[in-house]
């Protein structure tokens, strides 16, 4: 039973890991915490819903389209909403992402109402048995996609030229600009990338979950818990934190009570931030006068 | 000694006491709501605007104030005044508790932990049904004070007006003193404030407690206003409304807090018929203010000399 | 007994010795200066004295009373005031409000008095406003009273910071590079002001790079290099010190 819970937890946690990874990338590059990231995830799920239901587009095509739409949306958000106020205090930047989150929610609610919707399941191959543990089709796809993406992302960051430039632009925007790097363009791209990652999480989850305008908030909290657990700003930590959160939820839900699934994230956030804000893998910072 | 301000405010107060005599029930209810949200905005502004703390706990404070009042009056049958005082005190204590992480955590961490705290509280309202009656909500019986019945919206209006005026006056006094200056000084430059003999930790704790007290009073008013409170009233949409009140009205401005309430409170009423419209309008307003009018309405209003706010008396 | 005694203070940051056994005494009514190349530890010394750094070794005494390890606000309340090298002001507040924060230690009204607007609080506020305006006038910047500090020039900001430090009538005044960004005329005024303050009984301690100013007004000079005391004495003694000449003053 424990093994089953862990495996399901990893399947669920992969979604959190993807969202947390996107948020962490954005945070590292722009120092902005995107409170709208859950809504980007939600929006992509609804885009897929729209394409599948209203236009009868095959799933794979719809998925690609959703990723593209979100990439563009992320870029537009950066250019129109974030760049004009990039020098404003943290509060204003946070408020802007909060406003964005409500805007997306309102648009979706207006378009589809508050009703809960669902899609037919997309992955209909048989589950795989590993001993007594059942690995559902959904879990296989989700874990597989996440593994591929995370691995690909890290390879890109460490090995490729783009990755090196990205690290440069993150560590020292001014230095990067001096060597000819288009830093604003880079920020715009990274917003697009982060949104695209939220989209991937959305398209993986859309066929097996209930869609409603407020679903983003649930995922956002899990992603925060993942980032907090793994250490804010730590890319590997975000992924590890996400997987851990997934597992923790399943364990708490079974061994304690199902009500715990809702509040496991809140408790993790509160406990970690009050005892060791740096999380499991983060650095402890020292403030100097 | 004839500062025009000294005549202005009593005159305004008398003027403000007149509407119940000639407005209909619907408008009366809206006016009552405006007063409740004016107090909410003042309370939130203390922590967000004056103290500069990115604390997302305001909906939680609001809920604690409302639930304390409802539990005292609805379940334990207390009269209104003790319930109000309890709400203020309990919420101030909650503010104090929330201020402790604020001492150690920087901006975003504090935002996230207060968000988590607020949602945890809301889960508590739903699940601690032995106290709160859970999702079905807690009714608040009709109140009375000193023998005067507060069962009508009109009577409640005058009560709310008194409470709002008291909160405004008390907060203005505190701001125009070394306490208010200390709060802003710690926000602006914590090290320099310490060099002036100001204890940053105590100052932050005090700001949170003060904010909690004010928002707790607003919660009590809210309980009376609705006659029944339930957990959904204190979710993230409520938090957005609070943010909008403060950001659009003006961060760090009492006048702005009131202005924000006046402008925005009518909006949910008008916008609620179309699903999602309220969220869209509020978020666009918020975005507009962030991009073009960072000081909010207070920025415009401060052009009027008598509405300019100082951090000192005189 | 000196007003400020710094006794063999050492500060170490993660393996790096920023200050090693630095001692200095500042008597009431004198001007003392700390000079040295960049990175010599001058600001660290200030931080150690005013409570922003905790020395690993040594004692700091204010009027005989040990203050090592106390938090900055506690030390300030004992009569010490300091300025900061970069931005020690409250940017969004006006000049008058900044100075009033400096004066606030003198007010006595508690929260009830303030909350209910009692007479005593109103009286104290009015007096604080008047005192602040008077001090601003004395420094020559009273016309800037309603200006937002963030909008002022660097030199004006410096003046506001010094005014704010003075209004609480400190016994010990620490000034971190007060002459930076000032014109020659302004420096002359600064020099006169500092000597006046000393004449009023304050122990003035400054960190400075402008050697002429230091030599002209100081009673004692301490030279730091790599966190250690290189020389200590009157300006003439220090000027003649061979080690100092080699390390720092060049061909003075």
Tell me the pLDDT tens digit for each residue of A154-194. 888 777 777 777 777 777 777 777 777 777 888 898 899 99
> Hey, of A106, A215, A229, which one would you mutate to test binding to chain B, going by the most B CBs within 10 A of its CB?
A106
* Identity of the residue in C52, C101, C129 whose CB atom sits nearest the CB atom of B185: C101
What is the torsion angle, in degrees rounded to the nearest 10, for the CA atoms of residue C227, residue C230, residue C235 and residue C236?
-170
Neighbours of B265 (CB within 10 A): 22
Question: Judged by CB atoms within 8 Å, which residues 16-45 of A form the interface with B?
Answer: 33
Q: Mean per-residue pLDDT for A79-100?
A: 90
Model confidence pLDDT, tens digit, residues C103-121? 887 777 788 888 888 888 8
Residue A288 has pLDDT above 70, yes or no: no
- Which residue among B173, B181, B188 sits closest to C104, beta carbon to beta carbon? B181
Measure CA of the first residue to CA of the last residue in chain A; give whole Å: 53
Residues 223-262 of A with CB under 8 A from B: 224, 228, 232, 259, 262
Q: What is the mean pLDDT of residues C66-91?
A: 91
CB–CB of A106 and B109 under 8 A? no
- A176 neighbors A165 (Cβ within 8 angstroms): yes
According to the model, what pLDDT value does residue A289 have?
40
Q: Is the pLDDT of residue C61 over 50?
A: yes
Average model confidence (pLDDT) for chain C?
Answer: 88
- The subunits that touch chain A, with at least 3 C-beta pairs less than 8 Å apart, are B, C
The model's pLDDT over A237-268, given as tens digits with 9 standing for 90+, comes to 999 999 999 999 999 988 888 888 888 999 99
For an interface test with B, give the residue of A31, A99, A260 to mutate (most B CBs within 10 A): A99
Q: What is the mean pLDDT of residues C63-76?
A: 92
pLDDT, average across residues B290-301: 88
Exposure letters A18-57 (e unless 16+ CB within 10 A, then b): bbbbbbbbbbbbbebbbbbbbbbbbbbbbbbbbbbeeeeb
Q: List the one residue out of A239, A145, A157, A142 whose CA is nearest residue A190.
A: A157
Across the range C225-230, mean pLDDT stands at 88
Residue B261 has pLDDT above 80, yes or no: yes
Nearby residues of C125 by Cβ (< 8 Å), 6 or more positions away: B176, B177, B312, B313, B314, C107
For residue B252, list chain C residues with Cβ-Cβ distance below 8 A.
Answer: 92
Nearest C-alpha of chain A: how many angstroms from C47?
8
pLDDT over 70, % of chain A: 97
Strand partners, C4: C26, C62
Residues 6+ apart with CB under 8 A from A50: none
Report the C-alpha dihedral over residues B70, B76, B82, B84, rounded to 10 degrees.
0
State the pLDDT at residue C212: 86
Contacts of A67 (CB under 8 A, 6+ apart): A44, A196, A199, A200, A203
Interaxial angle between packed helices C119-139 and C154-167, expressed in degrees from 0 to 180 and rounded to the nearest 10? 130
Range in A113-117, B189-193, B195-199 the model is least confident about: A113-117
In the prediction, which pLDDT does C243 show?
77
Separation between Cα atoms, residue A121 and residue A207, nearest integer Å: 5
pLDDT at C13 over 90: no
- Subunit partners of chain C (3 or more CB pairs within 8 A): A, B
pLDDT reported for residue C251: 44
- Residues from C in contact with A at Cβ < 8 Å: 47, 52-53
Note the pLDDT of residue B1: 44
What is the spatial distance between Cα A234 and Cα A227, in angstroms, rounded to a whole number? 8
Residue C250 confidence class, pLDDT cut points 50, 70, 90: low
Asked if the C-beta of C73 comes within 8 angstroms of chain B's C-beta atoms, the answer is: yes
Rounded CA-CA distance C175/B134 in Å is 61
| Nearest-by-CA chain A residue for C87 | A289
Tell me the torsion sign for CA atoms B278, B279, B281, B282: positive
Q: What is the spatial order of strands in the sheet that C172-176 belongs to? A: C80-82, C172-176, C203-207, C31-35, C220-225, C228-233
Q: Spell out the SS3 assignment of B211-239.
A: HHHHHHHHHHHHHHHHCEECHHHHCHHHH
Interface test with C, best of B167, B195, B302 (most C CBs within 10 A): B195
Q: What's the rounded mean pLDDT across residues A95-110?
A: 93
Statement: residue C252 has pLDDT above 80: no
How close, in Å, is residue B106 to chain C by CA atoms?
A: 19
What does the block give as tokens for B222?
């809210």
pLDDT tens-digit readout, B72-84: 998 888 989 999 9
pLDDT in tens, A209-232: 888 888 898 899 999 999 999 988
- The mean of the pLDDT values for chain A is 86
Positive or negative torsion for Cα B12, B13, B15, B20: positive
Q: What is the DSSP letter of C199?
A: H
Average pLDDT over residues B188-198: 93
Burial state string for B270-283 with b = 16 or more CB within 10 A and e = fewer than 16: ebeeebbbbbbbbb
Contact C105 B177 (CB under 8 A): no
Best C81, C83, C86, C90 member to test B by mutation, with max B CBs in 10 Å, is C90
Task: Evaluate whether C231 touches C224 at the Cβ level (below 8 Å).
Answer: no
Say if residue C170's pLDDT is above 60: yes
Ranking A280-289, B91-100, C73-82 by mean pLDDT, the lowest is: A280-289
Burial of B210 (0-12, 13-18, 19+ CB in 10 A): buried
Greater pLDDT, B238 or C108: B238
Could you give the ipTM of this predicted complex? 0.90
Contact B84, B143 (CB under 8 A): no
First-to-final CA distance of chain B: 10
The torsion angles phi and psi of C225, rounded to 5 degrees, stand at: -150, 125
**Structure token digits, residue C238:** 């220090």
Chain C residues lying within 8 Å of A88, measured CB to CB: none
The percentage of residues in chain C with a pLDDT greater than 90, rounded to a whole number, is: 43
Beta carbons of B41 and B258 less than 8 angstroms apart: yes
Q: Note the maximum CA span of chain A.
A: 61
Residues 6+ apart with CB under 8 A from C124: C106, C107, C108, C109
Q: Which chain C residues contact residue A289 at CB under 8 A?
A: 47, 52-53
């Amino acid at each position: 039973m424990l093994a089953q819970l862990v495996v399901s937890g990893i399947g669920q946690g992969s979604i959190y890991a993807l969202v947390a990874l996107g948020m962490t990338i954005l945070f590292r590059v722009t120092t902005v915490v995107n409170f709208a990231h859950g809504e980007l995830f939600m929006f992509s799920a609804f885009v897929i819903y729209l394409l599948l239901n209203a236009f009868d587009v095959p799933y794979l095509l719809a998925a690609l389209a959703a990723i593209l739409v979100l990439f563009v949306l992320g870029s537009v958000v950066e250019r129109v909403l974030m760049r004009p106020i990039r020098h404003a205090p943290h509060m204003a930047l946070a408020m802007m992402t909060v406003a964005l989150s409500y805007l997306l929610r309102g648009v979706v609610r207006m378009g589809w109402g508050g009703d809960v919707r669902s899609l037919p399941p997309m992955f209909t191959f048989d589950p795989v048995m590993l001993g007594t543990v059942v690995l559902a089709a959904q879990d296989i796809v989700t874990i597989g996609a996440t593994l591929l993406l995370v691995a690909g992302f890290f390879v890109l960051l460490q090995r490729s030229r783009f990755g090196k430039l990205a690290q440069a632009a993150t560590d020292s925007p001014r230095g990067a600009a001096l060597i000819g790097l288009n830093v604003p363009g880079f920020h715009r791209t990274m917003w697009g990338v982060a949104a695209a990652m939220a989209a991937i999480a959305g398209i993986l989850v859309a066929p097996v979950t209930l869609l409603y305008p407020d679903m983003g908030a649930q995922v956002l909290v899990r992603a925060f818990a993942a980032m907090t657990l793994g250490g804010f700003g730590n890319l590997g930590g975000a992924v590890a934190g996400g997987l851990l959160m997934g597992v923790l939820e399943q364990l708490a839900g079974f061994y304690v009570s199902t009500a715990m699934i809702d509040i496991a994230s809140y408790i993790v956030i509160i406990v970690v931030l009050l005892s060791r804000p740096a999380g499991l893998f983060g650095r402890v910072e020292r403030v100097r006068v | 000694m004839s500062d025009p301000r000294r005549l202005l405010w009593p005159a305004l107060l008398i003027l403000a006491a007149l509407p119940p005599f000639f407005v209909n029930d619907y408008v009366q209810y809206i006016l009552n709501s405006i007063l409740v949200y004016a107090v909410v905005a003042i309370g939130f502004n203390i922590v967000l605007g004056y103290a500069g703390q990115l604390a997302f706990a305001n909906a939680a404070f609001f809920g604690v104030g409302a639930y304390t009042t409802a539990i005292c009056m609805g379940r334990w049958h207390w009269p209104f005044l003790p319930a109000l005082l309890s709400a203020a005190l309990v919420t101030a204590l909650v503010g104090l508790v929330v201020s402790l992480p604020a001492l150690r955590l920087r901006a975003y961490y504090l935002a996230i932990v207060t968000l988590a705290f607020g949602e945890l509280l809301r889960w508590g309202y739903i699940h601690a049904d032995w106290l709160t009656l859970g999702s079905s909500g807690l009714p608040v019986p009709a109140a009375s004070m000193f023998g005067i019945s507060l069962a009508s919206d009109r009577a409640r209006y005058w009560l709310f007006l008194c409470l709002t005026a008291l909160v405004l006056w008390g907060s203005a006094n505190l701001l125009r003193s070394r306490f208010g200056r200390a709060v802003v000084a710690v926000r602006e430059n914590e090290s320099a404030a310490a060099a002036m003999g100001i204890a940053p930790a105590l100052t932050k704790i005090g700001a949170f407690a003060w904010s909690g007290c004010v928002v707790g009073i607003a919660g009590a008013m809210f309980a009376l206003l609705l006659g029944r409170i339930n957990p959904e009233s204190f979710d993230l949409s409520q938090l957005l409304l609070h943010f909008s009140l403060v950001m659009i009205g003006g961060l760090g401005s009492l006048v702005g807090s009131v202005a924000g309430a006046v402008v925005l409170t009518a909006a949910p009423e008008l916008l609620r018929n179309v699903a999602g419209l309220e969220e869209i309008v509020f978020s666009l307003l918020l975005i507009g203010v962030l991009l073009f009018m960072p000081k909010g309405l207070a920025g415009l209003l401060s052009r009027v000399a008598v509405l300019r706010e100082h951090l000192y008396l005189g | 007994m000196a007003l400020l005694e710094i006794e063999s203070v050492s500060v170490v940051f993660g393996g790096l010795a920023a200050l090693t056994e630095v001692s200095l005494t500042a008597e009431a009514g004198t001007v003392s200066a700390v000079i040295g190349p960049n990175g010599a530890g001058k600001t660290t010394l200030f931080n150690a004295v005013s409570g922003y750094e905790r020395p690993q070794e040594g004692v700091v005494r204010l009027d005989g009373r040990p203050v090592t390890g106390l938090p900055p606000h506690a030390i300030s309340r004992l009569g010490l005031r300091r300025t900061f090298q970069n931005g020690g002001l409250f940017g969004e507040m006006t000049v008058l409000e900044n100075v009033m924060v400096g004066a606030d230690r003198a007010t006595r009204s508690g929260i009830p008095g303030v909350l209910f607007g009692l007479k005593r609080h109103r009286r104290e506020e009015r007096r604080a406003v008047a005192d602040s305006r008077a001090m601003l006038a004395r420094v020559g910047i009273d016309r800037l009273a309603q200006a937002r500090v963030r909008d002022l020039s660097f030199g004006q900001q410096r003046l506001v910071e010094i005014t704010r430090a003075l209004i609480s009538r400190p016994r010990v005044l620490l000034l971190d590079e007060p002459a930076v960004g000032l014109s020659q005329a302004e420096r002359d005024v600064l020099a006169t002001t500092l000597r006046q303050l000393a004449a009023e009984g304050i122990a003035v301690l400054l960190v400075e790079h402008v050697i002429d100013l230091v030599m002209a007004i100081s009673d004692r000079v301490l030279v730091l290099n790599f966190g250690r005391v290189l020389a200590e004495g009157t300006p003439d003694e220090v000027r003649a010190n061979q080690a100092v000449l080699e390390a720092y003053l060049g061909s003075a």
